[in-house]
Amino acid sequence: LLSYTEQYVEYDPFLVPPDPSNPWLSDDTTFWELEASKEPSQQRVKRWGFGMDEALKDPVGREQFLKFLESEFSSENLRFWLAVEDLKKRPIREVPSRVQEIWQEFLAPGAPSAINLDSKSYDKTTQNVKEPGRYTFEDAQEHIYKLMKSDSYPRFIRSSAYQELLQAKK
């Protein structure tokens, strides 16, 4: 708990006043413009290093992680994970067709962007596809998330691309 608190202290607006100031409290909208920018601040880039969730929550972090994976020809895992996240937010009438699209893209035999699943996850997902729903790919998504967290994400954080972003913002 203490290490978590120390790690996030500089992001707490109660302890460290944000620069620029909070647009909800002042008339200065610079903060919103910076957050929407494609050029992330050093503080923002540094936060991606705290964990994969931080990188995935930030649209620019997600984009940089995807670029890195594309440079290694291994972007299918993240694209699958993002497609499943999108599926969960779709209107229910669109879900069955989207489930089929995801299946054809990532899991069907001969899929153009095949992902590597263990047999247990694949078998369960194969059964779930027969009755499509928002959580059809839950097991597969969890497996892919763990794979990215233990393999792809650490490589991203050690990569020259991430280090350059971090250094460029100093």
The pLDDT tens digits of the residues spanning 94-123 come to: 999 999 999 999 999 999 999 999 999 999
Q: For residue 4, what pLDDT band results from cuts at 50, 70 and 90?
A: confident
Average pLDDT over residues 74-95: 97
pLDDT for position 35:
59
Residue 83: both structure tokens together? 């497609």
Residue 82: both structure tokens together? 């993002």
Q: Any idea of the CA torsion for 92, 94, 95, 101, to the nearest 10 degrees? A: 180
Domains and CATH numbers, the chain: 2-71+152-168 (1.10.196.10), 76-150 (1.10.167.10)
* Chain segment 28-46, per-residue pLDDT in tens: 666 556 556 667 788 889 9
The rounded distance, in Å, linking the Cα atoms of 1 and 7 is: 10
The SS3 assignment for 6 reads helix
The rounded distance, in Å, linking the Cα atoms of 125 and 16 is: 46
Question: Quick one: what percent of the chain has pLDDT higher than 70?
Answer: 84
The rounded distance, in Å, linking the Cα atoms of 134 and 98 is: 9
Q: Burial-class residue 14 by CB neighbours within 10 Å (0-12, 13-18, 19+).
A: exposed
pLDDT for position 160:
93
* Structure-token match 């940089």, residue found: 64
Helix 76-89 vs helix 95-102: angle between axes, to the nearest 10 degrees? 170
In whole angstroms, what separates CA 36 from the centre of its chain?
17
pLDDT for position 38:
64
